[in-house]
Structure 1
Amino acid sequence: MGQNSRAGGRVYRACLLAGALLASVAGLGGSAFAQGVGASDDQTFVSLREAARRNDAPLAQTLAARLVDYPAPSYVEYFTIKPQMFDASGRARVDVPDEQIRSFLSRYDGTAIADRLRNDYLVVLGARRDWRTFQQEYPRFALDDDTQVKCYALEARAASGQQVADDARRLLVDPRWYGDGCVDLIAALADYRQFGPADVWDQVRLAYEGNYTSLGSRIADALGPARPDNALLSMASSRPPLLLARQIVSDTMRQVALLAVTRMAANDPDQAAQQFASIQMNFSPEDRATAWGTIGYRAALKRSPQALDYYRLSVNGRLSQPAQEWRVRSALLAQDWPTVRWAIESMSPELREQPAWLYWHGRALAKTGNVAAANQDFARVADRFDFYGQLATEALGRPVTVPPRTTVSDADVQRMAGNPGFQLAQRFYTLNLRLEGNREWNWQLRGMNDRQLIAAARYAERIQLLDRTVNTADRTKGEHDFTLRYLAPFRDTVARYSRQTDLDDEWAYGLIRQESRFILSARSGVGASGLMQLMPGTADLVARKLGLGKLSRAQVNELDTNIQLGTAYLAMIYDQFDRSPVLATAGYNAGPGRSRQWRSTLTQPVEGAIFAESIPFTETRDYVKNVLSNTVYYGVLFEGRPQSLTSRLGVISP
């Protein structure tokens, strides 16, 4: 993929040709959705959905009036109600009437779209501080996956006199998802004296660290009279060297200076370190450690050799989760195993329990001779079917295999065809409404046992919803079918082009599974397309090298051509990087230049797993782990024998 790909957050425009899929729906019990609806009604429905997305209530009302007897009435109604609840900027309208909302929730109770409306309603109730109604509705919110709603839920508890500060600290770790609800929670906890000034300043600094400076300024309102003026906050954000050059005598000024250090470090951590070193005696030991941890974090992201030195000064600092994680990664790159252990043990309890840090803690224990304790860490991770589950399995001395295959009957699969939610999901897929399609599909999976999930995955395969096949099969816990989890369609084509370029079939499939989930006409938000998600410039480059001439976008997206170009591109990068799957996979996602740059910062050879864990881009880091984990399972299935992820990762040399 090209340099600006976004593998983790793709927006796919199409799944299959609408006519073919509608025909399949009609043939599988979904004729109510496939008949009697004209193309104009479908287009009106899509336009209604867009009006609702923009919270354009008048237009939504006009469009909905045209959709009499449309075969998705709950969505037509939802798309008219939702824009009445929020303004154009997405802020909740606290004066929206409740009657229509309550009627909808009553009539469609238990459906995916009712749960979606309840999510919206809880935001409105929280914004208007109607805690009594909020507390009635919140237990009925099945997904409970909205951080803003969780913040309102904590505020509701605090308003009734409960102590929620610890729960709030655990929740408030990523300002991207805060919204008004979390800003209100911080202010409320400050009013209730459950948050002290240090808690509020931590949240302001966290927002500044994430470049959400306007949000940070809003959070600072919770400081009350101690809030610095906007000019001072603006200087900390936009002109941090000038702020740090000012006299630092008050507590407020010290906290604003920490904001300036945070912002300065994002651009030039070494300069920030130099300037902070000259003023650090003005700060408490904890604040000094916090500043050095922030500087270390930014230096680590830039793969600076100084990062670990800065981090060594961060003991007892109040660090964000990313800063805590990069403290470990810096120690891993230095292969300083005692510091790896200390850095993980210094993490917040929730963070330390994540599989990556359990595994690396086990490795650190093993390196220092505590094998029994290390194996306990590995055993807690080894039952996972992912990158760290595979590494932990091998650390325990076992090869990577796949579990026994559970099969289901045709009758089990056919029963899934009669599920109205699956039928509705298919209709949305024909309209390129993947968000709604996935919502309906996934809603039906709740509460299914493993055999039912396997039947649903097999049904998805039968109707060529291959991404749903993989994602549904991925949910099983005790019984599995890895031929569905690691689907291998188009086998002859993939095998032909992989072997022409001297690539393993399993690696090509591992990449395709991550890139497109086998959606033939997948599109990313930055223009990558096809099964192997090729950027236009990359496709043109490879086509010229292969002597194919100038290809149209439609030609690039054809199954045969897309696989030919994608495997050829992967092979080119593979050869550039001494046939390292780690470097080549990273280069496919982020661009060969970045992969080369990350390698150039190494001062000594490191394990492939350490290199993968220390990739600065979150998307690329996860991408490399997922692709190579996929590859190992495909290897087991294709070759019929155990595999080793550790061997495939190899060692990366400077």
Structure 2
Amino acid sequence: MSEQSEQLVQQRVWYVDALREAQSGSYATVQKWRQKMGDYPLFPYVELAYLKNHPYLSNKQKIREFLNIYEGTPLEWPLRRPWLEYLAKKGDAITFINDFKATSDAELNCHNLSFQLKIGARIKDIADQIRTLWVVGKSQPKACDALFEKWADNGLRTNEMIRERVIKAADGGSHTLIPYLTKLLPKEDRSWAKLWHRVRRNPAAITKHKYFPRQDADYAAIQFYGLKRLIWRDPDVALSHFDKVSLQYPFTEEQLGQLSYRFALALASKGHAESKHWLSRVPAQLKDAKIVHWHLATYLREENWIQVASLIQSLPQNLQSLAINRYWLARAQEQLGIEVTARQNMQELAGMRHYYGFLAAARSDYKYQLNHQSVEIDVAIQEKISQAPAARRAYEFLQLEQFVNARREWYQFKKTLTKTELANAAYLAHQWRWHDQALRAISQAGQNDEVALRFPKAYESIYQKFSKQAGIDFTLALAISRRESTFMADAHSSAGARGLMQIMPATAKTLEGRRFNTRRLYEPETNVRMGTRYLSELTERLNGQVPLAIASYNAGYSRVLRWLPQNKALPLDIWIETIPYHETREYVKAVLAYQQVYEMMNEQPKNIFSQVINKKVIRAD
């Protein structure tokens, strides 16, 4: 180990102690560690630890110098926020306004506007800014109360603003805010606000005539909102109700178009008998890839190839040219006996590295294409990037396995880079074995054909070991992880899934059959052992049909069983295309494509897509 490397190892040990001491120590403590640690990249975090816990006027100069040096980095707001909060508590208007910066933090914005009034601003001059803070669909911090009260007392809050906020609270906001807003309205408007609240809690309330005293635009808006939600909850009731009210209420053309769009999506995804009718009603300007997909899916379920071809050929060129529509047009032509054209279209699509390209290649016996293209590395640029303070901080956090901090530094740093620099940064991250950031950066650089960086064989020995034990393909486990976590060992989803293969704690406990410390799911070995075992069990339960196991890994085994056709066997590519959940549908496509990419990196690649084009699925009760 070189002298420099030994020094870095020692500094990393010191850093942990310095951080702890600086939080509660004096500035002399910071100075002591500065002399000891020298130019260690993470030393600014030691100074930050002291300053954010001592945001006092006596430290004003030090705080301002720190904020000036680290403006725009992840070090800035962890100090600026407590500093501004301290100044607000002290009532120091001048210093607060001088050190305030634009932010989405409502509390700090309210303090800023309140202090502007305190030093002489006229409320009418900042009324629009106050309005922006007030007319939102949720409650705002208590720090805003006095400001809002003064604004209202000056006659600047109108009934229209209150009504606008009621709608925001009902439509996507916090409905518990509505009773408070209702009291602010004149008596004649309160029943309208209460109805918004009622329909937010139960959209079926729109079917009760007694709640709707008038059939004007205000009540039409509530009907419109309720219908958009009710069609998902109870399609038959929504359809029946729409037939009754469509001519009674003054719906605008825009509202009717949006209802057609929402009804079409809901009914098609549920396989409802009325779906075709509503799909045909969607206005041309609202027909997007999502609507076209579900229109296509209704015909695919029936294997109505004439309608499939007719639909796709009727689309504008920008939608016809999408890979999904090119593939299904070729499939339809194939089924209708237009074999030469079908084969030609399949071969054109087969040159692409994605799900539909691989499907097309399998159907036309065309060779799969990786289209790999390496990016030329500029050693000088890479050296410059590696020595940038932010990159050095990111690297040190990586060595300390503080991955969140590492990503924060790297994310902010990447914002300053050109496309060429981003590509070099991606290779640098790859050298650091920081796989998720390497593949993200190379994609952000626009170099999507750099396959080696976009599809790394991260933690290869671990995946090899446990895939073999579970009896599944190593490439499948890699593909699942590539989609689930992009190889972030500390990944944690909003649903609670954790680690490389995103295992749910409940799944882990079931697999272990005993009490289990779910923090261990962040350990690559533990996570991959469980993920491969779970995938193996799903595959076995689904009679070896890997695409169904992939869908189950994402959506759950019982749900996939419900999605299987009961009356007749359905070709697997059609079944995948008609999976009701968009997330699961795209997940299955991505994992299959990723697995094929990983296979093509092997000496003897498997033909993953042969199972997709040659198999059918049916529910066996």
Please tell me the TM-score bracket, short chain as reference: 0.5 to 0.7
Code of the aligned partner of 1:73: Y
1:182-211 deviations in Å (ceiling 9; x for gaps): xxxxxxxxxxxxxxxxxx99xx99998868
Partner of 1:561: 526
Partner of 2:433: 464
Partner of 1:625: 589
Of 362, 384, 387, which aligns to 2:326?
362
Distance 1:365 1:426, change over 3 A: same
Distance 1:241 1:473, change over 3 A: closer
The answer (yes or no) to whether the contact 1:577–1:584 under 8 Å persists in 2 is yes
Code of the aligned partner of 1:569: Y
d(CA) in 1 for partners of 2:451, 2:268: 38
The answer (yes or no) to whether the contact 2:592–2:608 under 8 Å persists in 1 is no
Does 2:38 correspond to 1:39? no
d(CA) in 1 for partners of 2:94, 2:301: 55
Mapping for residues 128-277 of structure 1, pairs under 5 Å: 229-246=192-209, 249-277=215-243
For residue 212 of structure 1, report the CA deviation from its aligned partner.
Answer: 8.0
Partner of 2:561: 596
Mapping for residues 109-508 of structure 1, pairs under 5 Å: 229-246=192-209, 249-282=215-248, 290-301=258-269, 303-306=270-273, 308-312=275-279, 314-316=281-283, 324=291, 327-328=294-295, 330-331=297-298, 332-336=300-304, 353=318, 358-366=322-330, 367=332, 385-388=353-356, 390-391=358-359, 398-404=366-372, 406=374, 411=379, 414=383, 416-427=385-396, 430=400, 431=402, 432-433=404-405, 436-443=408-415, 446-449=417-420, 453=422, 455-475=424-444, 477=446, 480-508=449-477
d(CA) in 1 for partners of 2:378, 2:595: 30
Q: Percent identity?
A: 19
d(CA) in 2 for partners of 1:342, 1:228: 50
d(CA) in 2 for partners of 1:376, 1:84: 66
SS in 2 for 1:38: helix
Distance 1:358 1:304, change over 3 A: same
d(CA) in 1 for partners of 2:97, 2:357: 48
d(CA) in 1 for partners of 2:567, 2:328: 20
Bigger Cα Rg: 2
Distance 1:647 1:421, change over 3 A: farther
d(CA) in 2 for partners of 1:582, 1:427: 41
d(CA) in 2 for partners of 1:381, 1:64: 68
The answer (yes or no) to whether the contact 1:293–1:317 under 8 Å persists in 2 is no
Code of the aligned partner of 1:596: L
d(CA) in 2 for partners of 1:425, 1:447: 19
Distance 1:288 1:522, change over 3 A: closer
RMSD (Å), alpha carbons: 5.8
Report which structure shows greater RCO (CA 8 Å, sep ≥6).
Answer: 1
Distance 1:274 1:80, change over 3 A: same
Mapping for residues 64-75 of structure 1, pairs under 5 Å: 73-74=70-71, 75=74
Distance 1:577 1:485, change over 3 A: same
d(CA) in 2 for partners of 1:318, 1:403: 36
Distance 1:494 1:365, change over 3 A: closer
1:371-397 deviations in Å (ceiling 9; x for gaps): 999999989987765434544666787
Distance 1:459 1:269, change over 3 A: same
Code of the aligned partner of 1:625: K
d(CA) in 2 for partners of 1:581, 1:539: 21
Q: TM-score when scaled to structure 1?
A: 0.62
Q: Which stretch of structure 1 is more off in the superposition, 469-478 or 259-268?
A: 469-478
For residue 310 of structure 1, report the CA deviation from its aligned partner.
Answer: 4.9
d(CA) in 2 for partners of 1:354, 1:23: 56
For residue 415 of structure 1, report the CA deviation from its aligned partner.
Answer: 5.1
In structure 1, list runs of 5 or more residues that go unmatched: 1-21, 88-93, 103-116, 129-151, 156-174, 180-199, 218-224
For residue 584 of structure 1, report the CA deviation from its aligned partner.
Answer: 0.9
d(CA) in 1 for partners of 2:81, 2:349: 42
Partner of 2:575: 611
d(CA) in 2 for partners of 1:42, 1:387: 53
The answer (yes or no) to whether the contact 1:243–1:260 under 8 Å persists in 2 is yes
For residue 573 of structure 1, report the CA deviation from its aligned partner.
Answer: 0.4
Partner of 1:158: none
The answer (yes or no) to whether the contact 2:596–2:607 under 8 Å persists in 1 is yes
SS in 1 for 2:281: coil
For residue 336 of structure 1, report the CA deviation from its aligned partner.
Answer: 4.5
Distance 1:290 1:363, change over 3 A: same
d(CA) in 1 for partners of 2:58, 2:587: 41
SS in 1 for 2:482: helix
Distance 1:382 1:434, change over 3 A: farther
For residue 462 of structure 1, report the CA deviation from its aligned partner.
Answer: 2.9
Distance 1:64 1:273, change over 3 A: farther
For residue 509 of structure 1, report the CA deviation from its aligned partner.
Answer: 0.6
SS in 2 for 1:523: coil
For residue 216 of structure 1, report the CA deviation from its aligned partner.
Answer: 12
d(CA) in 1 for partners of 2:454, 2:441: 8
Partner of 2:535: 570
The answer (yes or no) to whether the contact 1:288–1:317 under 8 Å persists in 2 is no
Code of the aligned partner of 2:489: L
SS in 2 for 1:474: helix
SS in 2 for 1:621: helix
For residue 437 of structure 1, report the CA deviation from its aligned partner.
Answer: 3.1
SS in 2 for 1:417: helix
d(CA) in 2 for partners of 1:25, 1:270: 72
SS in 2 for 1:304: coil
Code of the aligned partner of 1:39: L
SS in 2 for 1:531: coil
d(CA) in 1 for partners of 2:586, 2:434: 24
The answer (yes or no) to whether the contact 1:206–1:320 under 8 Å persists in 2 is no
d(CA) in 2 for partners of 1:96, 1:494: 56
The answer (yes or no) to whether the contact 1:498–1:504 under 8 Å persists in 2 is yes
